[in-house]
Amino acid sequence: MTKKKVSNDDLIANIIKGIEDVKGNDIDILDLREIDNTVSDYFIICNGNSNTQVNAIVNSIQKVVSKELKDKPWHVEGSENAEWVLMDYVNVVVHVFQKHIREYYNIEGLWGDANIISLENKN
């Protein structure tokens, strides 16, 4: 049985829902498709206020994506200390930060050529 291909749009919508369900903040979507030699098509970046909230965001994303799309990340890294957790869905990579770690690494600045869509906080 072959796995059904999940569209990037569906995956992104469900990742955003997972973030918003547990009040993740400052959601940015970086469209990397026009940049040469990128590792994925999109980065989704958000932050939580504590390691507990970062883990809650990660768990919520996995739960929503699994329930709605029957998909799971290829790889998850950083859950142990929950300051920066990377979730690799191959075409979409999710970065969940604690706020001070996000500011320090400034992923948006490193990928300044990307088209960045910032979502309003719903909290």
Q: What is the mean pLDDT of residues 35-63?
A: 96
Q: CA dist 98 to 7, 38, 66, 113, 115, Å?
A: 28, 24, 24, 24, 23
Domain assignment of residue 3, yes or no? no
Q: Is residue 99 part of a domain?
A: yes
Is residue 18 situated within a structural domain?
yes
pLDDT attached to residue 106: 96
Question: In which domain, by residue range, is 56 found?
Answer: 8-114
Residue 86's CATH number: 3.30.460.10
Residue 67 lies in a domain: yes
Model pLDDT, residue 5: 74
For the chain, what is the domain count?
Answer: 1
Could you identify the residue written with the tokens 């990660």?
Answer: 58
- Parallel, antiparallel, or unpaired: how do β-strands 84-88 and 25-31 relate? unpaired
Please give the pLDDT value at position 1. 42
